[in-house]
Amino acid sequence: MFKKLEPLIISIIKNVDTAVDGRLQQICELLKENVAHYDWVGFYFRNGDREELKLGPYAGNPTDHTIIPFGKGICGQVAVSNKNFVVPDVRAQDNYIACSLTVKSEIVVPLFVDGRNVGQIDIDSNTLDPFTEADEHFLEFVNKQVATIL
Ligand code: SME
């Protein structure tokens, strides 16, 4: 399934007629619609020089968490760790920001431009423990593609 999505990601990235945010929006929608266990897909980016993340394009229900301080929640932890964070069961996490009561698991993969952690892709799932290494590799691929247009 992920292999089929990769060329679609590349063609969205290459479409210079659409603004960058529009292309990121299309990527979020593509992922949410085509991966059964992806129920909310969004990008967070560092907010200027501040030690906080700001919500970018996303697909799924609106969230109140448009600004997340570094260190807070799964997203804020990835902003400082620079590492993928896979959460099979959000109930087991102390430092977690709940966006919706239906969410059971989450994966956050940092996005690097020239080696700098500039943001992340965040996926929420209503399924318990759905993520494998294939998700991590695919989302790393997505972020590498996105890095080329930032
Ligand atoms: N759950 C995230 C907050 C962002 S929402 O999932 C959209 C966290 O703990 O950082």
- What pLDDT does residue 99 have? 85
**In this predicted model, what pLDDT tens digit does every residue of 105-130 receive, in sequence order?**
999 999 999 999 999 999 999 999 99
The whole-number pLDDT of residue 98 equals 92
Q: Check whether 149 has a pLDDT greater than 90.
A: yes
Ligand 1 site, residue 117, Cβ cutoff 6 A: no
Tens-place pLDDT, residues 46-76:
999 999 999 999 999 999 999 999 999 999 9
Distance 17 CA to ligand 1 centre (A): 31
Ligand 1 pocket check for 73: Cβ under 6 Å: yes
pLDDT interval class at 40 (50, 70, 90): very high
Q: What is the mean pLDDT of the chain?
A: 97
Listing from the earlier edge strand, what are the strands of the sheet with 85-87? 67-69, 52-59, 40-46, 116-125, 105-113, 85-87
Tokens, residue 29: 């929608």
Is the confidence at residue 140, as pLDDT, over 90? yes
- Whether 12 lines ligand 1, by a CB cut-off of 6 Å, is no
Q: What is the pLDDT of residues 13-35, one digit of tens each?
A: 999 999 999 999 999 999 999 99
